[in-house]
Chain A
């Protein structure tokens, strides 16, 4: 009974903020009952309306004495009571305050430091007068918005604007993306005119063909940003939004594109991907496929070679992504309908483990494209198999093909083993069970890879050891034949019992000396092996959010 009452009370408590919010559904100020009189509420609402009419940003205030978390509550509040596109909300509970900014304009006008230093301190300076406090806050909002209107280039309004006047000022021979932006922004002039022209045309072609911009930019320094931030901002604030479309919620998503940024000051590079490029360029694709191609050139200061290699790599990865599946560290490729996601993930993990242990890639490919399995497999190997040794199992609706690639794989997966593999998968394969076939195949590959040749050296060693150990019993037999004949060297037997008496037993300390040496602290440094193949990658692309709120993938480093 007690429990039911408690539950009931909790439910009531949860409803409280919603209840009070609904009470004054049309105003811009919300408090617990009794804090403000109706008259005061009207005055504050009038002031708030005035500000909204002047600046297009609606100020809100709420206070509640409940205990639920302020920030989620503020979110709920904004959803329920703030219809305007741009608004600033000051929320309070008995312990904390929180500023919620809605819309880009509010976001730009009220950075965190302005909220804290201007708005909150104005609210705080008035004592013991709720109405006065809220009006002081509204005045502060008015002040800030007036200042923004008077000085639109204020750094607080556009904090992330590129430092140069026109960051995209490029010579006329540079080809533009389909979105009308330069494909190559070589501010450091690392390329000659003709190289730049050729390269930019090539970048444009790739971008058009695969509907994904490929952009290269070089700058002298990163300022105070990291390479990743700089690359993201360069992409976001310079309008590379080819293919940008409003998403379901009405906000614009980033364009599809990949950007290679070089900063020559500290030889930083960064790759930023956006939109479809995040899908096409996986972490594994960028860090093992792409970087392996262009970084060697950059290290040798061959920028033309490096950029062209980058372009080639991008084209390859885009082609794979558009035509087939993105290049990734996966070993198991099957249609979503054909294989359960959990089985796929598990088998991928197992395949990666096998690759790390044995250096042999174990691939399972399921495809409906059965026109020419051999050709399909060859193309698949060129595109997706990054190990030099691999075994592939290709399952089509009409049959399966097993292919071994590289010396080690061919040595391990002999014809005899493949025959046994056939027996192992038959029960599943016959029923068209992709999950079962793939699992049986992976298990069998694991068994084959874990087979080791008998250690001949250890066997020889054990025979030698046997010969040596054999000497032990034989030598003891030999001792028997000595027949107990030996000279006596001691006379213990003839010592009269209790006749041995120590008459002196003293230890005389002659001296001490102390030496010292520097105390060395030993720490076990168990350094893990270097990354090889797909180790450390878990497939897909990891993303982060840039300063403008856009989502990006990519990677950065030094060259």
Chain B
């Protein structure tokens, strides 16, 4: 039995939403705004109050989950209007397609699934649209029609589940290196080659390498959204989810950690190898890297996802909901590519040809090329 969580406005009873601009929970109908923490306290009080007053809890009970085996979809019933909301296994919060009510599935945030951190949205939907327009700016090979004809099919603010890995890394590496010097005594040339074993060990601490824990999200796209500023992260509260979609992780930390390991290993190896200068040849012989004091955290990070349909194809763009960094591959116009190539080729050919002609008249007959 899943529990759907929603916050009601204490003033008018409408569904509350988290406002990224003011970092407050606001009521879209009566313009009241509330601090998330006080709202949580208020909510707890209400619950306690309800329990104390033995009031009916049907509201929560009324939400029934049925598993649709055939489609892998879950169907839940909106607490506000009774409409059916479809979602997959990982859906944690959504909007009801009938009454636009925010629905948060409490079950997705309990036990192992309870996030440790959340970075609240700082940028709104309008900023995402603007980000997209800016993303198109200055892209010379973009098909002209894409600017005018492309339709943003959908803009979704999603809290994407990320694993954050922190670790003390110890690396010990061994290199084979040679250094040679040469001299002559007039009769013979001498080359002296000295062989060295370079022993290197280093410690380093990495904190909060983010790895997205959602199967649905493209790894490269999510990587490209980095960096997030974790100093703005707060302890998870469901209140932040109001008005946004969110997923729970479906890629295990044990699986995700390999990606983080690859990344810090490559950094450590590079830093250690910087200390091997001054030799004529250096070859890595052995590398051993161990991690201690490992810590993993489960965080929800804000991402605006845009789906753009153009020419029958769907293009996905993403914007960091905290920093506004906008990423996503754009279509390329073959016509414009050839056109620009021809333009530049002509310019360069003219310049080079000009040198040939100039050289001819200056008397080197093009031999200077």
Contact = CB atoms under 8 A, between A and B. Distances in A.
21 contacts: A459-B356, A463-B349, A465-B348, A466-B351, A466-B353, A467-B349, A470-B343, A477-B139, A481-B141, A481-B331, A484-B327, A491-B260, A491-B266, A495-B204, A495-B264, A496-B205, A505-B201, A510-B195, A517-B188, A517-B191, A518-B189
B330 A481 contact: yes
B271 A500 contact: yes
Contacts of A495: 204-206, 264, 267
A498 to B, nearest CB: 9
A455 B367 CA distance: 8
B129 interface: no
**Overall SS of chain B's interface:** mixed
Contacts of B266: 489-491
Given A491-B206, A512-B195, A513-B192, A474 B344 contact: yes
The list of the 10 closest CB pairs from A to B, nearest first, reads A466-B349, A455-B366, A470-B345, A462-B352, A458-B366, A504-B201, A466-B348, A491-B263, A470-B344, A499-B205
Given A455-B356, A467-B348, 15 more contacts: A463-B352, A465-B349, A470-B348, A477-B141, A480-B141, A481-B141, A500-B268, A503-B202, A503-B203, A504-B201, A506-B199, A508-B198, A508-B199, A512-B193, A514-B193
Given A465-B349, A485-B224, A507-B177, A474 B341 contact: yes
Contacts of A474: 141, 337, 340-341, 344
B346 interface: yes
B309 interface: no
Interface stretch (B15-23, B25-33, B357-365): B357-365
Interface of A: 450, 452, 454-455, 457-459, 461-463, 465-467, 469-474, 477-478, 480-496, 499-520
Interface of B: 135, 138-142, 170, 172, 177, 184-209, 219-221, 223-224, 226-227, 260, 262-264, 266-268, 270-272, 275, 317, 325-332, 337, 340-353, 355-357, 359-360, 363, 365-367, 369
B222 to A, nearest CB: 10
A514 to B, nearest CB: 4
B327 A458 contact: no
B198 A507 contact: yes
Given A465-B352, A494-B264, A481 B344 contact: no
Contacts of A472: 344
B200 A502 contact: yes
Contacts of A515: 190-191, 193
Contact of A487 (B170, B219, B326, B344): B219
Nearest to A458: B366
Contacts of B221: 485
B200 A504 contact: yes
Contact of B226 (A480, A483, A493): A493
Contacts of B351: 466
Nearest to B345: A470
